[in-house]
Amino acid sequence: MFYSSLRLRSAAALILVLALGCSSSSSPNNPTPPGATTFSGDFGWTCASGVNCQDVFDFTVTAGSVLNVRVSNVSDGSASQVALYGPGVALGGTNLLTGTNNELRCITAPSCSSYTAGEQKVGVTAATTGTYRLAVTRNWGISCGATGTYNVQLTSNVGFQVGTQTVQDGTSQAPGSECK
């Protein structure tokens, strides 16, 4: 009986360690339960030299959901861009935030240390039910250095299912950025 109890506690401790993870950039600081209307977390980039690198988050929403995307608390020296891709659309395809293949970046600043406000887009309606991909990119050309941090928040008027972070520090496939 003692051995079974000890083994059960050890298994529970292992599950807890695996659930907590070991990097704040690979899991949100506030995990989202199924059917939640908000997903948020603090993440970070470490980009290869000369690369616009991105983190990508997948989530499933129903048609008609109205989504708001916000990237904020961007660390000094980083300029962020965002893209939202519909079901079946490859990264670098048509971005629902701009209507083009470009990522959204509206903040302009006199220096690389002044982009901390991030980007946002409100009122994007999901046309179909399925898995959407949210890409948060660090623009190498106007950022300072190779690393940075940010907070991402996605809200919806209808409950949705958050999947996982499927890309960390991957190369952006978007050809550029624009403000719309």
pLDDT in tens, 82-127: 999 999 999 999 999 999 999 999 999 999 889 999 999 999 999 9
Which amino acid is located at 30 in the chain? N
Query: Does pTM top 0.75 for this prediction?
Result: yes
| pLDDT of 16 strictly over 60 | no
**Domain span at 92:** 24-172
Q: Does some domain include residue 83?
A: yes
Classify residue 46: in a domain, yes or no. yes
- Going by C-alpha positions, the residue among 119, 122, 125 that lies closest to residue 137 is 119
What are 18-34's pLDDT values in tens digits? Answer: 333 333 333 444 444 45
User: Cβ of 51: how many Cβ atoms within 10 Å?
Assistant: 16
51 near 146, Cβ under 8 Å? no
Domain assignment present for 7: no
Interior CA angle at 167 toward 116 and 25, to 5°?
Answer: 50
Spatial distance between the Cα atoms of 86 and 88, rounded to a whole number of angstroms: 6
Residue 13 counted as domain residue: no
Residue that wins the pLDDT comparison between 36 and 93? 93
DSSP code for 109: -
Confidence label for 36 from pLDDT (cuts 50, 70 and 90): low
Count of domains in the chain? 1
Residue type, 60: T
